[in-house]
Amino acid sequence: MTFFRDKQIKGYLLFIFSYSVLLLGGVIFFCQNQVSVAKSMYLEHDTAIVSALLEQGVSEETVANAISSTNISKEGIELLNTIGMRKDTLSSLLPFFSQFQSHSFRSILTVAMFFIAILYAGTMFFLWLRSRLYSKAQSIVNSYIKNDYSLHLPQNNEGEIYRLFTSIEQLATMLQSKTETESKAKEFLKNTISDISHQLKTPLAALTMYQEIIEAEPDNVATVKDFSKKIDTALKRIEQLIQSMLKITRLDTGNIVFEKRLCLVNEVIKQAISELTTRAESENKKIVIEGNSEQTFLCDIEWTSEAIGNLVKNALDHTMTGGIIRITWENAPNMLRIYISDNGNGIAPEDIHHIFKRFYRSKHSLDTQGIGLGLPLAKSIVEGQDGLISVQSSPYEGTTFTLSFLTKP
């Protein structure tokens, strides 16, 4: 039974066993002592009788025969009754017996008090140890209730109580994890709202200004058309910002379930750049695709196309007229690597460690219209599918993003 594995209970049971052995030894010693006392008093009683008879002139032979005799006669009984020594005679009236009784009572009382004191002390010590253990456990559990998990219940011993402590610790760990998750979620929500509020200030302020200008010159057709286009651009920027933030928030909170399947690399990339080829042509830039068209990898085609599209758009934003964006891929053991390279201005060394942060914009950036969410969104999409994303860049030479995906389930 695990109950008997408890260290304190085992100690108390050992104490009870030792106490029982000591009690048994004490009873035996007490009985032997009482026998010795009774024998001594019996001899004193016989000595007193013998002495009295000899003083009365009774012969020694007669006295010796009387003392050693075990016969009980009717005359002897009647004589004792006559002098008041009967079975119902008070013990206090029997000289030697009253002395023995008094001695026995004192001895029994002393021995009983001794053993009761030992039992009481041992039991109280055991209860004190348990009370201290329970008080400590209660204090720690109360700290758990207050979301303070710095202390821990003892779990290094065996026994039912320590099994209970282990279960409580497991529950506390789950609560701590849940509390931390909720705290992170609240902090994430707070930061997200703060980011959106901050990013909306500029376009909203611009919208207000454009509206005021139009209201000031309602009859100026050129002014109305010009600022109407600017209002449309600002509204699209706001829409893009909100859509991107919603996507990142859903990804970071785990509300997106990726439907991964084996997809052709060529198919995913074509879908990714379908809306960017026209822009590239208008800006006199080229998007070059090179690789095995039959190569497949494991991904969610819709989300992965968006991630690649964001990287290609970023390359277009930071490449001069006549620039080339090259998309290639290669197969590795159980993995596919997709490379998106450009020959643009590259990323400054002080910026390269920050490019995946939300709303981060380099002071060297050529893009004045971006909102700083394309790269963070691409990173969340790739890593959400158990993939990897990395970047290498040389100033004024170009940048290469590398995406790594599994090729097998």
Q: At what angle do helices 7-55 and 60-68 cross, to 10 degrees?
A: 150
What pLDDT, in 10s, does the model give residues 98-151?
Answer: 666 676 777 778 878 887 888 888 888 878 887 888 888 888 888 878 877 777
Given 220, 252, 284, the domain boundary residue is 252
Same domain, 127 and 203: no
242-248 contacts at long range (C-beta below 8 A, 24 or more positions apart): 242/196, 244/371, 244/373, 244/374, 244/377, 245/192, 245/195, 245/196, 245/373, 247/377, 248/358, 248/373, 248/376, 248/377, 248/380
The pLDDT of residue 36 is 77
Same domain, 278 and 186: no
Same domain, 229 and 123: no
Tell me the residue range of the domain where 276 lies.
261-406
Is 211 among the domain residues? Answer: yes
Helix (H) or strand (E) holding 328: strand 324-332
Same domain, 265 and 402: yes
In Å, how far from its chain's centre is CA 360?
35
Question: Do residues 111 and 24 lie in contact, with contact meaning Cβ atoms separated by under 8 Å?
Answer: no
Same domain, 85 and 187: no
C-alpha dihedral sign at 278, 279, 283, 285: negative
Same domain, 73 and 9: yes
> Within 10 Å of residue 385's Cβ, how many Cβ atoms?
19
Is 152 among the domain residues? Answer: no
Please count the structural domains in the chain: 3
What pLDDT, in 10s, does the model give residues 219-255?
Answer: 777 877 877 887 777 777 777 677 777 777 777 777 7
Same domain, 117 and 222: no
Given 217, 252, 287, the domain boundary residue is 252
The pLDDT of residue 338 is 94
The pLDDT of residue 270 is 92
Confidence of residue 405 (pLDDT cuts 50, 70, 90): very high
Question: Do residues 373 and 358 lie in contact, with contact meaning Cβ atoms separated by under 8 Å?
Answer: yes
Of all residues in the chain, what percent carry a pLDDT higher than 90?
A: 17
Residue with token string 């108390």: 12
What pLDDT, in 10s, does the model give residues 50-92?
Answer: 787 787 877 877 777 777 767 777 776 676 677 666 666 565 5
Is 104 among the domain residues? Answer: yes
Reference 310, options 401, 214, 378, 211; nearest CA is: 378
Q: What is the mean pLDDT of residues 6-16?
A: 74
CA distances from 203 to 233, 236, 322, 377 (A): 9, 10, 31, 21
Same domain, 228 and 268: no
Confidence of residue 5 (pLDDT cuts 50, 70, 90): low
Looking at residue 343, its amino acid is N
pLDDT at 364 over 60: no
C-alpha dihedral sign at 294, 299, 305, 309: negative
Written in H, E and C, the secondary structure of 69-104 is CCCCCHHHHHHHHHCCCCCCCCHHHCHHHHHHHHHH
pLDDT at 400 over 90: yes
Alpha helical stretches, state H, 91-220: 95-145, 160-216
Bridging pattern class, strands 286-290 and 324-332: parallel
The pLDDT of residue 6 is 66
Is 159 among the domain residues? Answer: no
Reference 278, options 326, 313, 328; nearest CA is: 313
Given 222, 252, 282, the domain boundary residue is 252
Confidence of residue 404 (pLDDT cuts 50, 70, 90): very high
pLDDT at 172 over 70: yes
Q: What is the mean pLDDT of residues 342-353?
A: 86
Is 9 among the domain residues? Answer: yes
The domain that holds 195 is classified in CATH as: 1.10.287
Cα 192 from Cα 173, distance rounded (Å): 28
The domain that holds 311 is classified in CATH as: 3.30.565.10
Confidence of residue 325 (pLDDT cuts 50, 70, 90): very high
Same domain, 394 and 305: yes
Reference 337, options 402, 268, 271, 267; nearest CA is: 402
Write down the mean pLDDT value for the chain.
Answer: 80
The pLDDT of residue 2 is 52
Is 165 among the domain residues? Answer: no
Of all residues in the chain, what percent carry a pLDDT higher than 70?
A: 83
More confident residue, 250 or 334: 334
Tokens found for residue 210: 């454009």
Question: Do residues 403 and 389 lie in contact, with contact meaning Cβ atoms separated by under 8 Å?
Answer: yes
Looking at residue 313, its amino acid is K
The pLDDT of residue 388 is 93
Is 162 among the domain residues? Answer: no
pLDDT at 329 over 90: yes
Same domain, 125 and 182: no
What pLDDT, in 10s, does the model give residues 146-170?
Answer: 877 777 877 666 667 777 777 888 8
pTM: 0.52
Cα 325 from Cα 154, distance rounded (Å): 62
The pLDDT of residue 199 is 63
Same domain, 134 and 200: no
Is 72 among the domain residues? Answer: yes
Maximal CA-CA distance, the chain: 163
- For residue 354, the 8-state DSSP code is T
Confidence of residue 390 (pLDDT cuts 50, 70, 90): very high
Same domain, 139 and 224: no
**Three-state DSSP state, 318:** coil
More confident residue, 293 or 221: 293
Task: Return all residues near 185 (Cβ < 8 A) that are at least 6 apart.
Answer: 253
